[in-house]
Amino acid sequence: MVVRKVGKYEIGRTVGEGTFAKVKFAQNTETGESVAMKILDRNTILKHKMIEQIKQEISIMKLVRHPHVVRLHEVLASRTKIYIILEYVTGGELFDKIVHHGRLSELEARKYFQQLIDGVECCHSKGVYHRDLKPENLLLDSQGNIKISDFGLSAKPPEGVSVLKTTCGTPNYVAPEVLDHKGYNGALADIWSCGVILYIANADYSFPSWFSMGAKSLIKRILDPNPQSRIRMEDIKNDEWFNKEYIPARFVEYEDVNLDDLNAVFDETEDQQDNQHHGNDEDGPLMLNAFDLIILSQGLNLQSLFDKSKDSVKQQTRFVSQKPAKVVLSSMEVVAQSMGFKTHIRNYKMRIEGLSTNKTGNITVILEVFEVAPTFLLVDIQKAAGDLNEYLNFYKNFCENLDDIIWKPPNDSGLSKIGKNKTRKRP
C-alpha cells in the first residue's frame, strides 16, 4: 500500500468534505500526534476570490490560541494545493450531542457555557468577533471539552473601528441588532449568540420549570434585545450562577504570532492570479460575458424583443456587491429568514419562498450570484411566482436590509437610477 505524505504528515481517511475544502485525518510522523488536514485547491480559491477571506480566517486562528479554540498548527502548500493543519477533535459537535441526548443537565450545560465564554472572551481580547457561534461550530474533544471552530465569517476590524455592518451568521442565533441595518458591536452580538446556545433562539420566551433562578436571571440579561443594556462579558464572568464550580482555562499567552508560512503560501497563490483562467462550474458563481451583461442590463434588456408585457422587466431586478460570495449568500439567507421566508441554497442559487407581506398569497423568488469582474459580483433576482406588486415590495425591503453589501456607484444615491433613461435637451 502506498502511503501518501505531505511534509511530515501521513494522510489517512477523509473525515469531512465541503464545497471548497476536504478534511482528512493525518498523523505527524515525528511526534505521532493526530491532526486534521484541511485541503484547498489553489485554482478554486483563486476562481472564487477567496484568498483574502481564507488568509483572514487563518491569521485569526493563529492569533487566538486558547484551550477552547481549535488550534491551527501550520500552513503548507504544493503547486496545486494548500494544506491547513488543525487540531484533530474527536468528540463531534455539541449540536449532535444535544440532538442525541435531549436537553442537558444544568450542571453540564453550565460547564459548556463556562468554556464557551472563556474561549469567546479570548477572541474578543484579540479584537476578533466570531459572528457565527452555534452548537454546530462547537466541537467536543475526547475529554468532553468545548473547542470553538469555523472562523469563516469572523471579523477583526482595524484598530479604532467599533461598529460592524455586514449582516451575517445563522438566523436562529444572530443578535437582533445585526438585522437592524444600523451597525452593531461584534462583542455584544457574540454574547447574544452565547445566550442562545445556552437556551433559546429568540427574545420572546418563557422558562421551563426545571430552570434554576440563577440560570433564568443570567439568560434574561444575555437575551436582552437592546445591546446597550445587554450584559457585558466581565459581568457574565462575575455572575453567581456562572461561577459555580468554574475552573478558568489555563494557557500560555503568545505575544508574537508568526505568519511567515501563511504569507509565503498566499503570496505565491496571488502571483498566479493574473495567469489564472476563471472557468465556470456548478460549484461557484458563473462568470458573465459581454453578451450576458447586455441581456441583464435593464437599459438594454433584450427580453423585451420577445416579451411585450410591460411587466417583463419589473419582474427581474439585481444589485452589485464587492463582498465575497460566501458573505453575500450568508447575508441574503439571514435577511430572508428574518423576513419570515424559507430559503433553499444550492451552489450559488437561492430560492426564497413564503407568504407575501399582506399574507394573502405565496411568493417565490429566485436569486443567483454571478461573477462580473475580479472584485464585483452581480446578484440577479427574479420573481418565480406570486403577485408582482408584492414581489416589488419584497425586493425593496430585502435590499434595504442588505444595504451594507450592495455596491453603489460613486456620487450616486442608489442603484435605483441604473437603467433609467435620462432626458436630453435638444441644442
**Number of C-beta neighbours around residue 307 at 10 A:** 13
Q: Is the dihedral of CA 357, 361, 362, 365 positive or negative?
A: negative
Q: Active site includes 274?
A: no
- Could you tell me which residues come within 8 angstroms of residue 314 by beta carbon, excluding any fewer than 6 positions away? 388, 392
| CA 187 to each of CA 98, 234, 324, 338: distance values in angstroms, whole numbers, following the listed order | 26, 12, 22, 21
Residue with cell 484551550: 67
| Coil/strand/helix, residue 255 | coil
* CA 393 to chain centroid: 27
What string of H, E and C letters represents the secondary structure of 215-246?
HHHHHHHHCCCCCCCCCCHHHHHCCHHHHCCC
How many C-beta atoms surround the C-beta of residue 99 within 10 A?
A: 10
Q: CA-to-CA distance for 57 and 70, rounded, in angstroms?
A: 12
How many Å separate Cα 108 from the centre of its chain?
28
The catalytically annotated residue of 41, 96, 118, 132 is 132
Query: Which helix (H) or strand (E) covers residue 350, if one does?
Result: strand 349-355
Positions marked catalytic: 132
